[in-house]
Amino acid sequence: MIVACPFCKAKADPAVSVCGSCGKKMSRNCPACAESIAANSTTCKYCGEAMTPVRDAAPAKPAEPGIVFIEEKPRRKCCAGRTMFWLVVGLLAGFCAFSAVKTRINCHRAPVKQEIKAPADRLY
């Protein structure tokens, strides 16, 4: 015989006292005759004793958390790294351009030749 959980209406085995889907206790004992009755019943079906129904039974096992999201603080936008990168690139490009221009100027200059003449009146 298959019974249904009185709380979530899931099918369960009568030998099991705790529901597999919601984790609540499905049966309890009557205080007068000690027979096992449904957890949410208001009267015992065996002796007719009136009782208060269980409103919200505590789950037998703690619920395992699924995905846990951790809130991240919004990052401040910092442009120091990007600015430093472009500054270094600009300085390097300027140095290369200056070096190329200076080398080109020095390469195309004609060397100035100086002739050293000894005076004719002095012989060595």
Per-residue pLDDT of the chain (124 residues; tens, 9 = 90+): 457 777 777 877 767 778 877 778 777 888 888 888 877 778 888 888 888 766 654 555 556 667 777 777 777 777 788 889 999 999 999 999 998 888 776 665 666 677 777 666 765 5
The pLDDT value given to residue 1: 47
Max CA-CA distance within the chain? Answer: 154
The pLDDT value given to residue 93: 95
The pLDDT value given to residue 86: 93
Q: Convert 40-65 to b/e letters by CB count within 10 Å (16 or more is b).
A: beeebeeeeeeeeebeebeeeeeeee
- Residue 19 CB partners (closer than 8 Å, separation 6+): 5, 7, 8, 10, 12, 25, 26
φ, ψ of residue 85 to 5 degrees: the values are -60, -50
- Residue 116 CB partners (closer than 8 Å, separation 6+): none
Query: Any idea what the Cα angle at residue 37 is, between residues 40 and 48, rounded to 5°?
Result: 95
The residue extents of the domains of the chain are 1-53, 79-107
Q: Is the pTM of this model over 0.75?
A: no
In this structure, what token pair is assigned to residue 1?
Answer: 């015989």
